[in-house]
């Protein structure tokens, strides 16, 4: 398992709270609407959107990956913070591999979620 940290700073003319609302709190419907060729659907498999929620993100046709799953670890509206873990299957030479990235959350703190085998 490897740790992947993504950080990007951009300037937008939208207040931070509204940006967080659209791209984090409402991302399940907003992202497929904004980028339907990239993200087909976001389905909540378990939970209510808060910590512990497991989502299945299905990508558009023609991409390298069909889908991946994520688990929400932290959502903090006051500090505009989101921490998610992602899992996806990778098919290489007719063999499946499961790639995991824990985004700096220790594996022993991710309880109850197991990627598809």
Look up the CATH number of the domain holding residue 40.
3.30.530.20
Domain that holds residue 68: 16-103
Residue that wins the pLDDT comparison between 52 and 117: 52
Tally of domains in the chain: 1
Residue pair 22/30 in contact by the 8 Å Cβ criterion: yes
For 5-59, the pLDDT digits (tens) are: 667 777 888 888 898 898 889 999 999 999 999 999 999 999 998 999 999 999 8
- Residue 46 zone, left/alpha/beta (φ > 0; ψ -120 to 50; rest): beta
Alpha-carbon gap, residue 58 to 65, rounded angstroms: 8
User: Max CA-CA distance within the chain?
Assistant: 47
User: What tens digit of pLDDT does each residue of 62-109 get?
Assistant: 877 788 888 888 888 888 888 887 776 544 444 444 444 433 344 444
Q: Shortest CA distance to 18 belongs to which of 7, 8, 30?
A: 30
State the alpha helices, DSSP H only, in the chain. 16-20, 27-34
Do the domain assignments include residue 9?
Answer: no
- When pLDDT is cut at 50, 70 and 90, the band that residue 4 belongs to is low
Determine, yes or no, domain membership for 99. yes
Phi/psi region, residue 112 (left: phi>0; alpha: psi -120 to 50; beta: rest), is left
């Amino acid at each position: 398992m490897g740790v992947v940290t993504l950080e990007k700073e951009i300037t937008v003319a939208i207040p931070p709270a509204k940006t967080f609302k659209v791209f984090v709190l409402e991302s399940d419907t907003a992202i497929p609407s904004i980028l339907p060729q990239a993200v087909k659907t976001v389905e909540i498999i378990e939970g209510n959107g808060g910590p512990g929620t497991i989502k299945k993100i299905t990508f558009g046709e023609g991409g390298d990956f069909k889908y991946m799953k994520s688990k929400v670890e932290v959502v903090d509206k006051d500090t505009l913070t989101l921490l998610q873990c992602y899992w996806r299957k990778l098919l290489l030479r007719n063999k499946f591999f499961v790639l995991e990235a824990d985004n700096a959350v220790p594996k022993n703190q991710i309880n109850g979620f197991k990627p598809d085998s």
